Chains A and B, each alone.
Chain A
Amino acid sequence: GAVVSQHPSWVICKSGTSVKIECRSLDFQATTMFWYRQFPKQSLMLMATSNEGSKATYEQGVEKDKFLINHASLTLSTLTVTSAHPEDSSFYICSADLGQGYNEQFFGPGTRLTVL
C-alpha cells in the first residue's frame, strides 16, 4: 500500500529556533501533499496544500512566513516552523494524494513539536 513517513517523529526545541519536518511518500509519487495541525484532544486542521514545483496554498489564518512549505520533489515535502514559540507546540501530520481517480489521502505518523 501507499506509505507516508515523517521525520522526526518528535522534536523539542528552544523558543526562537526553526524546526524542519519532512514528509515523504515511500512507494509512490505524490503531486499533492497536505499539512495538518492537531492540538490535544482536537481534530485535524488543514494548514496548507503543497504542490510539487509550485507555491503552497495556505488556509485562511495560517501565516505563510511562519510555516514555510517546500515541495521540491514528487516524494518529499517539508514544513519549516520559523522562529518557533511555545504556542506552536502541536502535533503536525502530513498526508499525500495518489492523484486523480483515487480520492484518498495517506497519512504520515505525525510529528510532535514541543517548543520550550
Chain B
Amino acid sequence: AQSVTQLDSQVPVFEEAPVELRCNYSSSVSVYLFWYVQYPNQGLQLLLKYLSGSTLVKGINGFEAEFNKSQTSFHLRKPSVHISDTAEYFCAVSGLTGGFKTIFGAGTRLFVKA
C-alpha cells in the first residue's frame, strides 16, 4: 500500500524567506509524486509533478521539488516566499498499486508573515 507523510502541519515563515515543506512516501512500486496547493474554499491546483527523468522538478509560482528515491522524499522548496503563497499544500502519490489512485498527505499550512 502507498502512504504519504507530511511532517509539518504548519509552517510559519517571513516574507522573502526560503521555505521547505517536507514530504515522505512509502510504496513498494514505482510512484508518481505531486504537490498541490489549495486556497480557502477552492479546489486543488497542481504545482508540480514527478513522473520520471530528472529528479529536480520545477513548477509554477517559483516552486521546485526534488525526488530522492533513497530517502523516499519529495520535499517542496521556494527560495523566496510571498504573502500570496499562504495556502494549504498537499503532497500526493499515485502508482500501479490500486490502479493509479492518488493518495494525499495530511497537508501543510504555509503561513507567510509580513
A residues adjacent to B (C-beta < 8 A): 6, 34, 41-44, 46, 49, 91, 93, 95, 97, 103-105, 107-110, 112
Contact = CB atoms under 8 A, between A and B. Distances in A.
A107 B44 contact: yes
Interface of B: 32, 34, 36, 41-46, 49, 51, 90, 94, 99-107, 109
Given A104-B49, A109-B42, A46 B102 contact: yes
Contacts of A93: 43-44
A43 B102 contact: no
B101 A103 contact: no
B4 to A, nearest CB: 9
A43 B106 contact: yes
> 4 shortest A-B CB distances, which residue pairs?
A109-B43, A107-B44, A107-B43, A110-B43
B49 A46 contact: no
Contacts of B100: 97, 103
Contact of A108 (B43, B46, B104, B109): B43
Nearest to A5: B43
26 contacts: A6-B43, A34-B102, A41-B109, A42-B107, A43-B90, A43-B104, A43-B107, A44-B44, A44-B90, A46-B102, A49-B101, A93-B43, A93-B44, A95-B44, A95-B102, A97-B100, A103-B32, A103-B49, A104-B34, A104-B49, A105-B102, A107-B36, A107-B43, A110-B41, A110-B42, A112-B41
